[in-house]
Structure formats: C-alpha cells, structure tokens
C-alpha cells in the first residue's frame, strides 16, 4: 500500500474508470431511465472510451497531466449535464496535482477541487440529489484520513466508502437539480445516476491504489 500516488496510479485509474463504466453502462442507463432520460451510462461510456484512445497517444508527465487529459476529453465527448460537470471536476483536480506524487492531503485537495468545480458549474448543494452527494462526503472523509495521518491509499479508500454511502443517501431524496427535479416526489426511491457513477469512479481509484481493480 503506497504512501503516495504517482502517474502510474493515475493512468491505471483512468483505465479502471473506463472499464467500470463500460461494465455498468446498462445499470447507469437504467438508473437514468427511471428519473432522467436514460443516457448517463452511454454518455460516460462514450467519454471514457475516448479517454483511452487519447491516453494511448499522449505522454503525460504528471498526475495532473493525466487528469487534464481526462477533463478535456470528457468535456468534448460526453455532452449532457455530466460532461461539463465531470470535465470541470477533473480540470480543477488536475490543477492540484502538478507534482510527481500526491499524498493523503493531496488526495483530499484533489477531491475538494473536483467538487468545487462541480458546484461552480451546477450550483447544487448536498441533498439536491446529484453527484455532489457522493463527492462532498468523499472530500470530508479524505480530509479526515489525511489529518489522521493515513496514507494516500487509505485516504482514497475512505473517500470511496463515503462516496458509496453518499450515493445511497440519494435514494430517498426529492431532486432539486438536473432532470430528476422535474419529477417532484416521483424521484423518491431512485438513486441518482451521477452519484452512483461518482461512487463507482472513486471506488475504482481506491481499488487501483490498493493494487486491485
């Protein structure tokens, strides 16, 4: 278990993201069919497939370079709400990671920058039943782990676990942003697709850091 994360982790994470999104494409489509328009899985799958192609051709030097490549590629291939939101998240995260490695505090900074990007664009708050409900607790968990002297990998795992719980908390909510907000009470009982995909991506990050994935 690495104390810090480097570009190899970042590259593997991106690949793991592509794999997890492809694997759960239909699950995310179905979540979005229920309270949205049924394209979330397709959008992310298209985006991360494009990321893999770009990654092949690129020679990133830092974690930040990798994340920036992800950001711009998602921005120009995903579309919909998730494209600009994830794109901005990765773009802001990339800016925090211009060194060779990142430690636990760096993980927390990276995630914090990400969620700030999402909020800057989408204006959602915790409890609005969006991807923010997965990201916000993840940031807190990572920060707590870092302050408790945990490794970067441990911080990531804490973030992933918190994101998973955060995604689950969207189930009983009425949505106040995005397409699901049109449904009023009828969104209750359904998981927000963006929160679910966020949890998946952060779980992939932890898995890869732990040597799995």
Partner 1 sequence: MKKLINDAHVVVAESVEGFVQAHADLVKSSGNPEELFVSRAGGAVQGKVGLVSGGGSGHEPLHAGFVGKGMLDAAVPGPVFTSPTPDPILAATKAADGGAGVLHIVKNYTGDVLNFETAAELAEAEDILVKAIVVNDDVAVQDSLYTAGRRGVAGTVLVEKIAGAAAERGDDLDGVLAIATRVNDNVRSMGVALTACIVPHAGKPSFDLADDEIEIGIGIHGEPGRKRIKAVSADETTDLLLTPIVEDLGLSGGEKVVLFVNGMGGTPSSELYIVYRRARSQLEAKGVTVERSLVGNYITSLEMQGCSITLLRLDDELTELYDAPVDTPALRWGA
The closest of 157, 143, 161, 135 to 2, measured between CA atoms, is 157
Asked if 14 is part of the footprint of ligand ADP (rule: CB under 6 A), the reply reads no
Of 123 and 148, CB closest to ligand ADP: 123
Q: Are the CB atoms for 160 and 139 separated by under 8 Å? A: no
Asked if 179 is part of the footprint of ligand ADP (rule: CB under 6 A), the reply reads yes
Question: Shortest approach of ligand ADP to residue 210 CB, angstroms?
Answer: 26
d(CA 173, CA 135): 16
**Integer angstrom CA distances of residue 27 from 37, 50, 60, 111:** 13, 20, 32, 25
- Of these partners, ligand ADP, partner 1, Mg ion, none, which one is at the site of residue 106 (CB under 5 to 8 Å by kind)? none
Which pair of structure tokens corresponds to residue 177?
Answer: 């942003």
Asked if 164 is part of the footprint of ligand ADP (rule: CB under 6 A), the reply reads no
Region binding partner 1 by CB under 8 A among candidate stretches 41-49, 102-110, 146-154, 162-170: 41-49
Q: Contact with Mg ion (CB under 5 A): which of 23, 37, 98, 125?
A: 37
Which pair of structure tokens corresponds to residue 69?
Answer: 């490549």
Asked if 47 is part of the footprint of ligand ADP (rule: CB under 6 A), the reply reads no
Task: Count CB atoms within 10 A of the CB of residue 1.
Answer: 10
Asked if 87 is part of the footprint of ligand ADP (rule: CB under 6 A), the reply reads no
> x/- string (CB under 8 A) for partner 1, residues 83-122?
xxx-----------------------------------xx
**Integer angstrom CA distances of residue 64 from 44, 91, 125, 141, 194:** 21, 9, 27, 22, 23
d(CA 71, CA 62): 14
Task: List contacts with ligand ADP (CB under 6 A).
Answer: 32, 36-37, 39-40, 43, 80-82, 85, 118, 122-124, 130-132, 177-179, 192-195
């Amino acid at each position: 278990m690495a104390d810090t994360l480097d570009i190899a982790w970042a590259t593997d994470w991106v690949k793991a993201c592509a794999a997890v999104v492809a694997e759960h494409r239909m699950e995310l489509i179905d979540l979005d069919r229920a309270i949205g328009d049924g394209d979330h899985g397709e959008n992310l799958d298209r985006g991360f497939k494009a990321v893999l192609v770009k990654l092949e051709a690129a020679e990133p030097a830092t974690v930040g370079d990798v994340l920036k490549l992800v950001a711009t590629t998602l921005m120009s291939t995903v579309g919909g709400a998730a494209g600009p939101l994830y794109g901005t998240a990765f773009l802001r995260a990339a800016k925090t990671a211009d060194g060779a490695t990142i430690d636990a505090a760096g993980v927390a900074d990276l995630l914090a920058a990400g969620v700030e990007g999402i909020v800057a664009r989408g204006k959602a708050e915790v409890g609005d039943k969006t991807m923010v409900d997965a990201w916000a607790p993840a940031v807190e968990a990572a920060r707590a782990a870092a302050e408790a002297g945990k490794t970067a990998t441990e911080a990531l795992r804490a973030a992933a676990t918190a994101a998973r719980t955060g995604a689950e908390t969207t189930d009983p909510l009425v949505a106040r942003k995005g397409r699901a907000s049109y449904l009023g009470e009828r969104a209750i009982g359904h998981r927000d697709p963006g929160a679910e995909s966020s949890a998946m991506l952060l779980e992939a990050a932890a898995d890869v850091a732990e040597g799995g994935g």
